Amino acid sequence: MRLLFLGDVVGRAGRNVVLEQLPRLRRDWALDFVVVNGENAAGGFGITEAIYEEFLEAGADAVTLGNHAFDQREALVFIERAPRLIRPANFPPGTPGRGAALVEAANGAQVLVVNMMGRVFMDPLDDPFASIDRELDAAPLGLVADATIVDFHAETTSEKQAFGHWCDGRASLVVGTHTHVPTADHRILPGGTAYMTDVGMCGCYDGVIGMDKEEPLRRFTRKIGSTRFEPVAGPGTLSGLAMETDGAGRAIAVAPVRIGGSLSEALPSFW
């Protein structure tokens, strides 16, 4: 299968580049399944139902979230009728929505999509290592799931790499999100899981993690904020990861994707 994962979409700049590029990529690359992390899609904070629908129409099969999942309060409600919207699995029991879902691809394949949050330098949720074991056991790769995509939303490289090794052989892809900067360490781990520490953001890279740089600089230097954070208006970069799986759901190729904006372009050579 041909899979595409797009990192945290930040504000209008991010939405624009996704809506412009994704339909074309889906067609040109004959993609079977696309996941978009949408935790920052609505003005940098959370997601609305309208934006979720836009992503699906543009070619996304599933939308994942993170620590900003419910910044837009409406998400607590519409997530119940949005089966392809996945919030972190290790939120407390009783949280609206779901942390994992078997989503049917256009070709009929069953794809397990899991969203999980790290705990180092983040809010202390339930143990992501124990939680991912439960999710992966419930729909084993190659038996129940034709492909398994894990979005690990975490801060530190150490927790992310440890999580990748922990899942190796049990997922098609473990990809990090949250830092809003793509890493250059995409690779296939020994057990057949594609891995990348962070897939970066879809948004404008001329600010500070997608936000206009004035307010962050003010807070760093004066320690007193002035206004709220606003996404920077400017040309967006699409940042993601492309991969291909074999019949058993193992990764056979992985490559970064960067299109537009101020980062160097990257495209898969294998398609």
Catalytic residues: 68
Q: Is 187 in the site for a copy of itself (CB under 8 A)?
A: yes
Longest dimension (CA), the chain: 55
Q: Which of 45, 49, 74, 76 is the binder for a copy of itself (CB under 8 A)?
A: 76
Nearest to 46 by CA among 21, 24, 74: 74
Question: What are the phi and psi torsion angles at 78 (to 5°)?
Answer: -70, -15
Taking the complex as a whole, the smallest distance from the CB of residue 40 to Fe ion amounts, in Å, to 4
Stretch of 10-18, 43-51, 139-147, 177-185 contacting a copy of itself, by CB under 8 A: 177-185
Residues 220-239 within binding reach of a copy of itself (CB under 8 A)? 220-224
Residue whose entry in the numeric block shows the structure tokens 């998400």: 75
Selected range binding Fe ion among 34-42, 51-59, 77-85, 212-220, rule: CB under 5 A: 34-42
Mask: binding to Fe ion, 49-78, rule CB under 5 A, as x and -? -----------------xx-----------
* 126-130-132 Cα angle (round to 5): 95
154: β partners: none
C-alpha angle with apex 10: 49 to 83, nearest 5 degrees?
30
Residue 263 binding a copy of itself, by CB under 8 A = yes
Phi-psi region of 267 (alpha: psi -120 to 50; beta: other; left: phi over 0): beta
**CA geometry: angle at 65 spanning 59 and 66, to 5°?**
155
DSSP state of 2: E
Give the range of 9-17, 36-44, 122-130, 243-251 binding a copy of itself by CB under 8 A.
122-130
Contact of residue 40 among Fe ion, a copy of itself, none (CB under 5-8 Å per partner type): Fe ion
Q: Judged by CB under 8 A, which of 74, 157, 234, 271 binds a copy of itself?
A: 157
Contacts with Fe ion by CB under 5 A lie at 8, 39-40, 66-67, 178
